[in-house]
Amino acid sequence: MIRFEPSFFLERNREIDDVTLRAIAREVRKDILKMTSAVNSGHPGGSMSAADILVTLYYYKMRHNPENPKWEKRDRFVLSKGHSSPALYSVLARTGYFPIEKLKEFRVLEGDLQGHPSMLTTPGVEISTGSLGHGIGAAVGMALALKLDRSDSRVYCMIGDGEAQEGSVWESAMAASHYNLDNLCVILDNNNLQIDGPVDEVMSIYPTVEKWKAFGWHVIEINGHDFKEIKNALDEADTVKYKPTMIVARTVKGKGVSFMENRAEWHGKALPPDLLKEALKELGELS
């Protein structure tokens, strides 16, 4: 298992190569599938599409302290698409916020890992989410507070492309650029799938780049599964002045398991035991 001392995470832009990031992301994907299958519930698809970005944020980019989740100087991450909680919980466990064993409490009665992130029960969760379209607004509030406090901490937030249909997302977009929140970086997990089908068929959000630009954001388009591109985009966001940054990450729902990729049916359905075995094998699990 790839493990770092908590002190490793205290400075941004860490030395960590793409091979290592990829290996960690593979472990995270296995966690996602095991966690959801264990309780036969939860959302594997969007967790898999978000995994590489979350791993890059927590292992390469963000300044944070797994031993002291409320460390004042930390960068914040808000999972606005809260249903991808398995990806977040796995990354929090693997970076040291709580023992890996705790992943067994996911969605279990009286467990600390609620179906959707709950800040009162899970260390490292900055705000409770689950109802789509709200987290990004809270991220704007955090970015405003950091400005007021003259802090150089940054706020990261991930939204879904289906989530981007919520009007509140655009209210947040407007506010973030109005207040020149250059300490805010939002990542759009653009897997082009939601529950009822492809985003462009259910309710198109396109053209995304032009929309966010028109709302006053600095927009970067990347492949959300290419660690080099993720790192570069996150670094570029650091340099932008007076504007929030939107990273439009083209991703694949179910990424990493061939029979799950680009299939809406695995949005909110866990793999049955036989398919779980097959999937874990694809992800390189021995035995």
Partner 1 sequence: MEKVSLRDAYGDTLVELGKEDERIVVLDADLSGSTKTAKFAKVFPERFFNMGIAEINMMNVAAGLAVSGKIPFVSTFAIFGTGRAWEAVRQTICYPNLNVKVVCSHGGITVGEDGASHQALEDVSLMRSLPNMRVIVPADDIETRQVIRKVAYTEGPFYVRLSREKFPRIFDETYRFEVGKGHVLREGEDVTVISNGVMTHFALLAAEILEKEGISVEVIHMSTVKPVDVELVVDSALKTGAVVTAEEHSIIGGLGSAVAEVLVENCPVPLERLGTPDVFGLSGKGWDLLHYFGLDENGIIAKVKKVLERKK
Ligand X SMILES: Cc1ncc(C[n+]2csc(CCOP(=O)(O)OP(=O)(O)O)c2C)c(N)n1
Q: Which residues bind partner 1 (CB under 8 A)?
A: 39, 41-42, 82, 107-111, 114-116, 118, 128-133, 162-163, 165-167, 194-196, 202-203
Q: Which is nearer to partner 1, 196 or 235 (CB)?
A: 196
Instruction: Give CA–CA dist 163/94, Å, rounded.
Output: 27
- Between 16 and 199, whose beta carbon lies closer to ligand X? 199
Buried b (16+ CB within 10 A) or exposed e, 237-250: beeeeebbbbbbbb
Token readout for 70 is 């409320």
Of the listed pieces 28-36, 119-127, 142-150, 188-196, which binds ligand X according to CB under 6 A? Answer: 188-196
Q: Which is nearer to Mg ion, 27 or 161 (CB)?
A: 161
Tokens, residue 59:
């292992």
Candidate segments 65-73, 102-110, 127-135, 278-286, binder of ligand X by CB under 6 A = 127-135
Query: Could you give the CA distance from residue 47 to residue 67 in angstroms, rounded to a whole number?
Result: 25
| CB of residue 265 to partner 1, shortest distance in Å | 9
Total number of residues that touch Mg ion (CB under 5 A):
5
Residues in binding contact with ligand X, number by CB under 6 A = 20
> What SS3 class is residue 249?
strand
Whole-angstrom distance, CA of residue 81 vs CA of residue 173: 16
Residue with tokens 């593979």: 26
**Contact with ligand X (CB under 6 A): which of 56, 153, 191, 208?**
191
Candidate residues 195, 202, 275, 283; the one interacting with ligand X per rule CB under 6 A: 195
- The span from the CA of 30 to the CA of 27, in Å, is 5
Q: How far is the CB of 191 from ligand X (least distance, A)?
A: 5
Residues 166-205 binding Mg ion (CB under 5 A) are: 191, 193
| 160 in contact with Mg ion (CB under 5 A) | yes
**Tokens encoding 176:** 């973030």
Exposure string for 58-69, b = 16+ CB within 10 A, e = fewer = bbbbbbbbbeeb
Distance of closest approach, residue 99 Cβ to Mg ion, in angstroms = 31
Q: Is 161 in the site for Mg ion (CB under 5 A)?
A: yes
